[in-house]
Amino acid sequence: MITAIVLIDTDAARIPEIAAQVAEIPGVSEVYSVTGEVDLVAMVRVREHDRLADVIADQVSKVDGVLRTRTYIAFRAYSSGDLDQAFALGLEG
């Protein structure tokens, strides 16, 4: 599974509507409204690299009110359990 984190700048007056439209796009697993320099963060999960362009460039970026997207591809996922285990290496208790 390929995971992309997509930062989305939008028309600020329409954030809830734009978020709902983006969330309906197949391949988008979650959409968050956030504080900071961007308006929305979308998590995109697809099986094939080529699908990223279909989802992000051909659909997310074309939602009316989306002004700009920036995409980050995840290399590896770390769950809290993985991190706890990594930091506990060599510690016997």
pLDDT tens readout for residues 16-25? 999 999 999 9
30 and 46 Cβ atoms separated by less than 8 Å: no
Return the pLDDT at 80: 63
Q: Which tokens belong to 78?
A: 């770390």
The whole-model pTM stands at: 0.83
Total number of domains in the chain: 1
Does residue 65 lie within any of the structural domains?
yes
CA distance 62 to 79: 32
69 and 60 Cβ atoms separated by less than 8 Å: yes
6-39 confidence digits (pLDDT tens): 999 999 999 999 999 999 999 999 999 999 999 9
Q: Which tokens belong to 35?
A: 């504080």
Containing structural domain, residue 58: 2-87
Does residue 12 lie within any of the structural domains?
yes
